[in-house]
């Protein structure tokens, strides 16, 4: 070492002290020693044997008061004069002493006095590996986007090792991993640092964070290292699409389900995190009106109903759904929604054909109508059964599916039920079931299956004799339960004979009204009753009829006075009853016998004594007409007794006849004769008798001549007619009706009746008109039944109303 430099250095450190040394510089002997020791030696460790190295013995050291002079505050070594060695006094840390400077040494001087000796000692401190590489921090946070491309570099922390040389930082190591490799580089100062290079792309979804260790090693022996943890957080990138967890979802919904009904929840997941994994669900817009029926909750994926589902319109829906994340990546799936049928449609009844009118004689099984039923529902909800609601004589048959025939099930009777309201009910089999009703109005048309019926088996009417012709006797009314023409009843008189004459001469029946009129005045004494049969016939085809017996009972009128049969009233001869003078009280003289052709009360006769020669002698039995003596006949009584007896009937008013009874009070016939002259005294009586006899004779003679003339005239007339009128064999003679008189002369019919009778062959269609006006009549003598006379009107025209118009009636 150059001395000048040494001084300079010394001066520099301890200027004042060094200056002192300079004063003695020429007198100082000096030597230089150099030692090398490793750092961190224990205190007291030997550095070097100074005494021997300087060539000094112990005495000299002691005598020269050898000591160390140093400019430093810290004196690392001490001089042990007794042994002449240098020993470590303080810990020597190379890194503290020199830092990174190499080589590293410190120096001091050993001074000896008497003589002054100055020896320079340099101690070189050798490095040992006493420091590990170290990082400033223990942990390092690193965030790397997963989209980082391979080759991306990431600077890592640099480690520090105060040791130098081979003991300093030598290399870096990275814990094994699949993504990164480490590159160790040196900067311009030669410091080593490391970079991490991405070799294989990151996937946050697989491995969202990575923990690595970076190890720095030095080259010492033993080797030392330092570690830093590198925590890598992989940042998400939207690299994943949402994925539905099912490719097809299946759901069902009841038709007519209300708004808001839950259908199904779909679920899509997105492997990305954060906003990249936020999924929004939607219904694909491309499907017509499905999005007006279903809606999906954007966030939860719940599909619910917003519209109407009708099984009959759509049985299933296919909803295409989409899940979209924030980066517009999508997935789609579909939801198959099956609509479950609900029994919401009632059956529909269609009438294919229906006859609203059926004849009552239609046989059971006659088809009335064909109906078709439909139900828009399906399955049980659409299976329809038809039935008839009422208990009506109809049934419904199904021959084809959904086609029904309505047929009669029994014979119909219009007369009991003329119309039916047939209610057909169609019920489906759903639960609850729905039904539809349809009412068919069926009318039963009439068939003439009922004959007219008279309510009474026998009709009777009573009429007093001597009735006015044309008087109505009774009205018949038959009933026919059929209707219209089938119930239109005509009354027809059945032909029979009453006492030789056809009944049509006695009565007429009005065909339409059933009123029975008397055609003539009846005489009880001739006909007591008129039994006849009236037929009621309906207008059906063929017509049905029934008979009823009508009995017209002619009631007696007191139109005949009693007739005395005994004693016979002769004009001239005098017949007397004889009473012996000795006759007792109650002696039956005679009996007045009278009859009355009337009947009943009218013929109930009572006898009364009207006039008597001696009223005290006889009495007449009121009931029996017996004339008896009431007292003893005596000789004083006149021989000739004349009694007038009145015979009265009990009619109202009563009619009577008188009879004169001559009684002779005598024992024998001669006695009577003697008194006969007395009887002749009854001049008035004889005159009358004579007059009647003469009148009778005259009448008889006149009748005889008249008859003779008539017979002759008829003969002549016939002879002439047969030549002139071939076609007519009826003699027509003007005829003046005779006064209808009583042959007995006592009771006469007080009126003369003229009447017109119009008769047509069709009695139903004729109206009979009875007139009072007399007119010229024609007597028609029917040669086949002589003595029977029919009076008919000839000149006066009688118009009869007919359905076809007016026409002249044909005469019979
Ligand atoms: C979807 O599925 C995932 C995983 O199975 C689950 O965690 C999530 O809750 C589901 N989302 C819905 C809306 O159900
Ligand atoms: C899909 O997600 C829905 C809703 O969370 C769930 O109900 C269904 O079971 C899931 N399907 C599968 C196959 O996991
Ligand atoms: C979706 O569902 C959520 C959670 O239930 C609810 O809060 C939200 O209102 C719903 N969105 C719609 C549009 O209904
Ligand atoms: C049938 O129905 C009609 C109309 O409702 C009614 O006028 C008629 O009286 C009914 N007939 C029967 C027999 O019930
Ligand atoms: C009615 O009486 C007529 C004659 O008396 C007879 O021919 C006919 O058969 C009877 N009709 C009935 C329905 O009894």
CA distances from residue 712 to 72, 224, 637, 722, 786 in whole angstroms, order as listed: 222, 197, 62, 16, 16
Q: Which ligand is nearest to the CA of 303?
A: 3
CB-based contact 665:674 (threshold 8 Å): no
Contact 273, 321 (CB under 8 A): no
pLDDT (0 to 100) of residue 744: 40
* Range 253-272 average pLDDT: 92
- pLDDT average, residue stretch 135-143: 90
What is the reported pLDDT for 282? Answer: 92
How many angstroms does the Cα of residue 302 sit away from the middle of ligand 3?
9
3-state secondary structure of 664: strand
Measured in angstroms, how far is the CA atom of residue 463 from the centroid of ligand 1?
115
**798 domain-assigned:** yes
pLDDT score at 323: 93
What does the pLDDT look like over 630-644, one tens digit per residue?
Answer: 888 877 778 888 888
If you compute the radius of gyration of the chain from its CA atoms, what whole number of angstroms results? 86
> What does the pLDDT read at residue 63?
87
Q: What are the E-state strand segments in 271-329?
A: 280-283, 294-296, 302-305, 316-324
Cα–ligand 3 centroid distance for 396 (angstroms): 57
Q: What is the pLDDT of residues 708-723, one digit of tens each?
A: 999 999 998 888 877 6
CA atoms within 13 A on the CB side of 667: 4
Nearest ligand 3 atom to the CA of 297 is 1
Cα distances (angstroms) measured from residue 748 to each of 559, 599, 602, 744, 751 = 8, 18, 16, 9, 9
pLDDT at 779 over 80: no
Three-class secondary structure of residue 199 per DSSP: coil
Instruction: Decide which of 564 and 725 is more confident.
Output: 564
The partner residues of 33 in beta bridges, in order of sequence, read 121
Kindly indicate the confidence band of residue 802, based on its pLDDT and cuts at 50, 70 and 90.
Answer: very low
Number of the ligand closest to the Cα of 265 = 2
Residue 599 belongs to what H/E stretch?
none
- Give the residue whose CA is nearest to atom 7 of ligand 5: 494
Looking only at the bridges linking them, the beta strands covering 280-283 and 316-324 are: antiparallel
The Å distance, Cα 387 to ligand 4 centre, comes to 19
What is the residue with the minimal CA distance to atom 9 of ligand 4? 421
What's the DSSP call for residue 709?
A: H
Please write the tens of the pLDDT for every residue from 202-248.
988 888 899 999 999 998 888 999 999 999 999 888 888 899 999 99
Q: What are phi and psi of 588, to 5 degrees?
A: -80, 110
State whether 499 and 570 are in the same domain: no
The CA 246 to ligand 1 mean position distance, Å, reads 12
Beginning with the edge strand found earlier in the chain, give each strand of the sheet holding 67-69 in spatial order: 29-38, 117-126, 104-112, 67-69
At which residue do the structure tokens 């690193």 appear? 142
Instruction: Please give the distance, rounded to the nearest whole angstrom, from the Cα atom of residue 265 to the centre of ligand 2.
Output: 8
Smallest-distance ligand from the CA of 478: 5
533 compared with 767, residue with greater pLDDT: 533
Atom of ligand 5 nearest to the CA of 451: 13
**Burial (Cβ within 10 Å: 0-12, 13-18, ≥19) of residue 519:** buried
| CB neighbour list of residue 148: distance below 8 Å, 6 or more residues apart | 198, 201, 202
381 in the same domain as 309:
no
Do both 475 and 540 map to the same domain? yes
Question: Binning pLDDT at 50, 70 and 90, where does residue 749 land?
Answer: very low
Quick one: average pLDDT of 337-347? Answer: 91
pLDDT band for 322, please (50, 70, 90 cuts): very high
Query: Quick one: 41 and 71 in the same domain?
Result: yes
- pLDDT tens sequence across 34-68: 999 998 899 989 999 988 888 888 888 888 888 88
User: Are 24 and 84 found together in one domain?
Assistant: yes
pLDDT of residue 240: 86
User: What's 83's domain CATH number?
Assistant: 2.60.40.60
Q: CA-CA distance, 212 to 221, in Å (whole number)?
A: 26
Residue 708's SS3 state is helix
Same domain, 289 and 218: no
Which atom of ligand 1 is nearest the CA belonging to 302? Answer: 13
In the three-class reduction of DSSP (H, G, I as helix; E, B as strand; rest coil), residue 764 is classed as helix
Residue (of 89, 101, 108) closest to 45 by Cα position: 89
Q: Rounded CA gap, 757 and 768, in Å?
A: 7
CA 277 – CA 271 distance, rounded (Å):
6
More confident residue, 752 or 517: 517
**C-alpha to C-alpha distance for 376 and 366, rounded to whole angstroms:** 31
Instruction: Please check the confidence at residue 747 and state whether its pLDDT lies above 80.
Output: no
Which residues are CB-neighbours of 380 under 8 A, at least 6 positions away? Answer: 343, 428, 429, 430, 431
Pocket-testing residue among 388, 412, 413, 421, ligand 4, by greatest number of atoms within 8 A of Cβ? 421
Bridge partners for 407 per DSSP: 367, 395
Residue nearest to atom 6 of ligand 5 (CA): 547
Report the sign of the C-alpha dihedral through residues 477, 478, 481, 483, in that order.
negative
State which ligand 2 atom lies nearest to the alpha carbon of 267: 2
The answer to whether residue 700 sits within a structural domain is: no
pLDDT band, residue 740 (cuts 50/70/90): very low
Distance 418 CA to ligand 1 centre (A): 75
- List pocket residues of ligand 4, CB cut-off 6 Å: 419, 421, 441
CA of residue 391 to ligand 4 center, whole Å: 15
pLDDT digits (tens, 9 = 90+) for 438-449: 999 999 988 898
Q: Tell me the ligand closest to 270's alpha carbon.
A: 1
**What pLDDT shows up at residue 682?**
52
> Is the CB of residue 276 less than 8 Å from the CB of residue 326?
yes
Residues 6+ apart with CB under 8 A from 703: none
| Whether 321 contacts 263, CB under 8 Å | no
Give the strand pairing for 640-648 and 593-595: unpaired
Q: Which residues line ligand 5 (CB under 6 A)?
A: 494, 533, 535, 545-547
Which one of 277, 310, 340 terminates a domain?
A: 340
Cα separation, 124 vs 34, in Å, equals 7
Ligand showing the shortest atom-to-Cα distance for residue 439: 4
pLDDT confidence band for 684 (50 / 70 / 90): low
Report yes or no on 715 lying in a domain.
no
Q: Choose one of 265, 299, 301 to mutate for the ligand 3 pocket test, by most ligand atoms within 8 angstroms of C-beta.
A: 299
Is 125:39 a contact under the CB 8 Å cutoff? Answer: yes
In this prediction, residue 671 carries a pLDDT of 61
DSSP 3-state assignment of 349? strand
Give nearest CA residue, ligand 2 atom 7: 265
Return the closest-CA partner of residue 417 out of 430, 408, 426. 408
Q: Is the dihedral of CA 774, 778, 779, 785 positive or negative?
A: negative
Contact between 520 and 505 (Cβ < 8 Å) = yes
Residue 35 lies in a domain: yes
- Please measure the distance between the N-terminal and C-terminal CA atoms of the chain and give it in whole angstroms: 202
Total of domains in the chain? 7
Tell me, yes or no, whether 353 and 286 share the same domain: no
Nearest Cα to 795, choosing from 738, 727, 735? 735
Per-residue pLDDT reduced to its tens digit, 382-411:
899 999 988 888 999 988 888 999 999 999
Judgement on whether residues 673 and 784 belong to the same structural domain of the protein: no
State the distance from the centre of ligand 4 to the C-alpha of 440, rounded, in angstroms: 10
Task: Locate the ligand 4 atom nearest the alpha carbon of residue 419 and give its number.
Answer: 13
For residue 517, is it within any domain? yes
Residues 346, 377: Cα–Cα separation, whole Å: 8
Strand positions, DSSP E, 248-307 = 248-254, 262-265, 268-270, 280-283, 294-296, 302-305
Going by pLDDT thresholds of 50, 70 and 90, the confidence category of residue 81 is confident
Q: Measured between alpha carbons, how far is residue 453 from residues 140, 685, 765 in Å?
A: 128, 65, 21
Judge if 70 and 9 occupy the same domain: yes
Instruction: Indicate if the pLDDT at residue 319 is higher than 60.
Output: yes
Residue 686, pLDDT score: 63
Ligand 3, atom 11, residue with closest C-alpha: 297
Cα angle vertex 453, ends 450, 458, to 5°? 155
Q: Which residue would you say has higher pLDDT here, 314 or 751?
A: 314
Half-sphere exposure of 592 (CA within 13 A, CB side): 31
| CB 299 less than 6 A from any atom of ligand 3 | yes
HSE, side-chain direction, 13 A CA sphere, residue 413:
5
**Minimum CA distance residue for ligand 1 atom 2:** 267
Q: Scanning the structure block, which residue is given the tokens 């490719």?
A: 247
The protein residue with its alpha carbon nearest to ligand 3, atom 8, reads 297
Percent of the chain predicted with pLDDT > 90:
31
Three-state DSSP state, 622: coil
Question: What is the C-alpha separation between 49 and 79, in angstroms, rounded?
Answer: 10
Q: What is the enclosing helix (H) or strand (E) of 670?
A: helix 669-674
Rounded CA-CA distance 425/402 in Å is 13
Q: Are residues 783 and 806 in the same domain?
A: yes
Residues 6+ apart with CB under 8 A from 206: none
Full DSSP string of 375-437: -SS-GGGG-EEEEE-S--SEEEEEEETTEEEEEE-S---TTT--EEEEEEEEEESSSS--EEE
List of residues 6+ apart from 299 with CB closer than 8 A: 280, 281
Q: Whose CA is nearest to atom 13 of ligand 1?
A: 300
How many Cα atoms occupy the beta-carbon half-sphere of 293 within 13 Å?
22
Share of the chain above pLDDT 70, in %: 82
The domain in which residue 191 lies consists of: 131-237
End position of a domain, from candidates 309, 340, 371: 340
Contact indicator for 184, 169 with CB cutoff of 8 Å: no
List the structure tokens of 755: 């009447």
Final residue of a domain: which of 304, 324, 340? 340
Query: What is the number of the ligand closest to the CA of 301?
Result: 1
Ligand minimally distant from the alpha carbon of residue 250: 2
Kindly indicate the confidence band of residue 543, based on its pLDDT and cuts at 50, 70 and 90.
Answer: very high
Distance of alpha carbon 476 from its chain centroid, rounded? 53
- Packing angle between helix 15-23 and helix 3-13, nearest 10 degrees? 140
- Average pLDDT over the chain reads 81
- Per DSSP, 316 falls in state E
Greater confidence (106 vs 15) lies with: 106
Of 481-485, 529-533, 579-583, which range is least confident? 579-583
Assess if residue 491 is contained within a domain.
Answer: yes
Pick the residue with more confidence: 571 or 628?
Answer: 628
Residue 421 pLDDT greater than 50, yes or no = yes
If you measure from the C-alpha of residue 293 to the centroid of ligand 1, how many angstroms do you get, rounded to a whole number?
Answer: 25
Asked whether residue 755 is domain-assigned, the answer is yes
Same domain (yes/no): 31, 119: yes
From atom 14 of ligand 2, which residue's Cα is the shortest distance away? 245
What does the pLDDT average to over 793-800? 37
Token readout for 722 is: 């047969």
In a domain, 693, yes or no: no
* CA 295 to the chain's CA centroid: 35
Residue 567 and residue 677 share a domain: yes
Of 286, 340, 281, give the one whose Cα is nearest residue 316: 340
Binding-site residues, ligand 1, Cβ < 6 A: 265, 267, 269, 300-301
């Amino acid at each position: 070492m150059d001395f000048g430099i040494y001084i300079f250095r010394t001066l520099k450190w301890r200027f004042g002290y060094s200056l002192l040394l300079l004063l003695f510089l020429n007198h100082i002997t000096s030597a230089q020693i150099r030692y090398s020791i490793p750092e961190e030696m224990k205190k007291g460790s030997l550095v070097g044997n100074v005494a021997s190295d300087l060539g000094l013995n112990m005495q000299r050291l002691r005598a020269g008061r050898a000591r160390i002079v140093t400019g430093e505050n810290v004196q690392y070594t001490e001089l042990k004069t007794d042994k002449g060695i240098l020993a470590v006094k303080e810990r020597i840390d190379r890194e503290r002493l020199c830092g990174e400077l190499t080589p590293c040494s410190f120096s001091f001087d050993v001074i000896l006095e008497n003589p002054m000796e100055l020896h320079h000692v340099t101690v070189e401190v050798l490095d040992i590996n006493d420091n590990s590489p170290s990082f400033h921090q223990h942990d390092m946070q690193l965030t790397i986007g997963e989209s980082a491309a391979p080759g991306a570099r990431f600077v890592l922390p640099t480690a520090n090792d105060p040791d130098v040389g081979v003991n300093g930082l030598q290399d870096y190591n990275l814990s094994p991993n699949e993504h990164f490799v480490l590159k160790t580089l040196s900067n311009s100062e030669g410091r080593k640092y490391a970079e991490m290079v991405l070799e294989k792309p990151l996937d946050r979804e697989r491995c969202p964070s990575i923990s690595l260790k970076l190890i720095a090693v030095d080259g010492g022996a033993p080797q030392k290292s330092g570690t830093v943890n590198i925590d890598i957080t992989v940042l998400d990138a939207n690299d994943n699409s949402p994925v539905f967890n099912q490719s097809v979802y299946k759901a069902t919904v009841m038709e007519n389900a209300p708004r808001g009904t839950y259908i199904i929840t779909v679920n899509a997941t997105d492997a990305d995190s954060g906003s990249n994994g936020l999924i929004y669900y939607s219904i694909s817009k491309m499907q017509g009106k499905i999005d007006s029926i279903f809606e999906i909750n954007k966030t939860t994926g719940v599909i619910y109903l917003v519209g109407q589902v009708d099984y009959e319109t759509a049985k299933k829906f296919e909803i295409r759904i989409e899940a979209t994340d924030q980066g517009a990546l999508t997935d789609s799936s579909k939801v198959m929604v099956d609509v479950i049928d609900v029994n919401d449609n009632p059956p529909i009844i269609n009438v294919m054909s229906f006859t609203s009118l059926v004849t009552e004689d239609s046989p059971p099984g006659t088809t009335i109508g064909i109906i078709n039923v439909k139900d828009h529902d399906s399955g049980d909800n659409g299976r329809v059964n038809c039935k008839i609601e009422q208990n009506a004589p109809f049934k419904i048959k199904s021959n084809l599916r959904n086609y029904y025939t309505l047929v009669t099930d029994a014979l119909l009777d219009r007369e009991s039920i003329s119309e039916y309201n047939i209610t057909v009910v169609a019920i489906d089999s759903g639960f609850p079931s729905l039904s539809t009703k349809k009412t068919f109005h069926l009318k039963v048309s009439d068939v003439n299956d009922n004959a007219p019926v008279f309510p009474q088996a026998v009709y009777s009417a009573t009429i007093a004799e001597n009735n006015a012709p044309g008087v109505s006797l009774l009205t018949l009314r038959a009933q026919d339960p059929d209707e219209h023409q089938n119930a239109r009843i005509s009354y027809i008189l059945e032909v029979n004979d009453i006492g030789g004459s056809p009944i049509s001469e006695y009565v007429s029946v009005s065909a339409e009204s059933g009123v029975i009129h008397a055609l003539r005045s009846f005489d009880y004494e001739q006909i007591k009753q008129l039994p006849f049969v009236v037929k009621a016939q309906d207008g059906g085809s063929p017509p049905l009829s029934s008979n009823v017996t009508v009995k017209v009972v002619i009631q007696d009128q007191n139109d005949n006075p009693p007739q005395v049969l005994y004693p016979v009233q002769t004009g001239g001869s005098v017949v007397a009853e004889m009473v012996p003078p000795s006759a007792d009280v109650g002696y039956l003289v005679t009996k007045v016998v009278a009859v009355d052709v009337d009947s009943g009360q009218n013929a109930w006769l009572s006898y009364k004594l009207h006039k008597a020669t001696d009223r005290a002698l006889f009495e007449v039995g009121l009931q029996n007409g017996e004339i008896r003596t009431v007292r003893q006949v005596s000789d004083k009584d006149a021989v000739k007794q004349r009694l007038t007896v009145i015979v009265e009937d009990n009619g109202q008013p009563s009619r009577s006849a008188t009879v004169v009874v001559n009684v002779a009070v005598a024992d024998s016939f001669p006695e009577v004769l003697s008194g006969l002259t007395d009887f002749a005294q009854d001049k008035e009586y004889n005159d009358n008798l004579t007059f009647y006899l003469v009148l009778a004779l005259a009448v008889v003679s006149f009748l005889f001549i008249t008859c003779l003339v008539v017979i002759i005239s008829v003969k002549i007339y016939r002879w002439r007619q047969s030549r002139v009128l071939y076609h007519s064999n009826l003699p027509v003679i003007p005829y003046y009706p005779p006064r209808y008189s009583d042959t007995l002369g006592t009771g006469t019919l007080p009126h003369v009746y003229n009447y017109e009778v119009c008769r047509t062959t069709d009695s139903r269609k004729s109206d009979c008109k009875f007139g009072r006006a007399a007119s010229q009549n024609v007597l028609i003598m029917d040669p086949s039944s002589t003595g029977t006379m029919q009076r008919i009107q000839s000149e006066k025209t009688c118009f009869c109303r007919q359905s076809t118009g007016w026409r002249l009636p044909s005469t019979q």
